[in-house]
């Protein structure tokens, strides 16, 4: 396999407590086991500018207006695309990102009530045609999400939002999955971590077989 001709951009999405950050290394390790160079990123963050914005967005004490939150998310994303994602894809590396623009539609759009058209306009400007090849949506019900989130201890600014907010976020994600069925794959994240890990690996195996035309055991 010549990875330089097969670079792909994969994103993982889902509301708080679905186990998304736990599954990112599962994808990365499975791809690396196939001899693929992988760049792992997260949003907001993964650049010096992005990490400073992340600290403001998640840990700051000052109230943040919904539009300001939206623009800081896209500022972090613009830096990440310029510094990390595009250079990696151009040299043939695959990129696995913990959240991308679908999160903005779910959190700032469905969650905060920011106009979806406004988000779409900014996304087109920032991304300039860049879209994930695959988005894995981990979906879990409120009781599962809450049980897992409580184990984290102290919660950040967004994690501290109430159940109504996160139900709107979940609805926003499911709406995105319905809108883009060719890109989205939804995995039930309610079962155990081992079961979800197996489902993620099975999905990735099928995608590698489609993309690369070879059987891919993950």
> What CA–CA distance (Å, rounded) separates 18 from 1?
33
Residue matched to tokens 């994969």: 10
Per-residue model confidence as pLDDT tens digits over 85-116: 999 999 999 999 999 999 999 999 999 999 99
Inter-residue contact 122 to 74 (CB < 8 Å): yes
Per-residue model confidence as pLDDT tens digits over 140-177: 998 888 888 877 767 888 888 999 999 999 999 999 99
Per-residue model confidence as pLDDT tens digits over 182-194: 999 999 999 999 9
Orientation of helix 193-212 relative to helix 20-32, angle to 10°: 40
Q: Which of 184, 78, 68 is nearest to 132 (CA)?
A: 184
At 3, the pLDDT band (50, 70, 90 cuts) reads very low
Q: Which of 69, 86, 174, 76 is nearest to 131 (CA)?
A: 86
């Amino acid at each position: 396999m010549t990875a330089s001709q097969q670079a792909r951009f994969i994103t993982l999405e889902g509301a708080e407590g679905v186990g998304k950050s736990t599954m990112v290394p599962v994808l990365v390790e499975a791809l690396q086991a196939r001899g693929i160079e992988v760049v792992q990123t997260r949003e907001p963050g993964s650049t010096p500018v992005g990490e400073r914005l992340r600290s403001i967005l998640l840990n700051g004490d000052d109230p943040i207006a919904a539009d300001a939150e939206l623009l800081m998310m896209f500022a972090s994303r613009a830096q990440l695309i310029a510094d990390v994602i595009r250079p990696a894809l151009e040299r043939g590396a695959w990129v696995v990102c913990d959240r991308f623009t679908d999160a903005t539609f779910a959190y700032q759009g469905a969650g905060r009530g920011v106009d979806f058209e406004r988000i779409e306009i900014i996304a087109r400007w920032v991304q300039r045609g860049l879209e994930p090849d695959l988005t894995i949506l981990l979906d879990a019900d409120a009781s599962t999400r809450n049980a897992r989130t409580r184990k984290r201890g102290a919660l950040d600014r967004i994690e501290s939002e109430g159940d109504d907010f996160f139900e709107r976020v979940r609805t926003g994600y499911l709406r995105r999955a319905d809108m883009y069925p060719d890109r989205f794959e939804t995995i039930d994240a309610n079962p155990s971590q081992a079961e979800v890990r197996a489902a993620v690996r099975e999905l990735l195996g099928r995608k590698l077989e489609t993309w690369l035309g070879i059987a891919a055991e993950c």
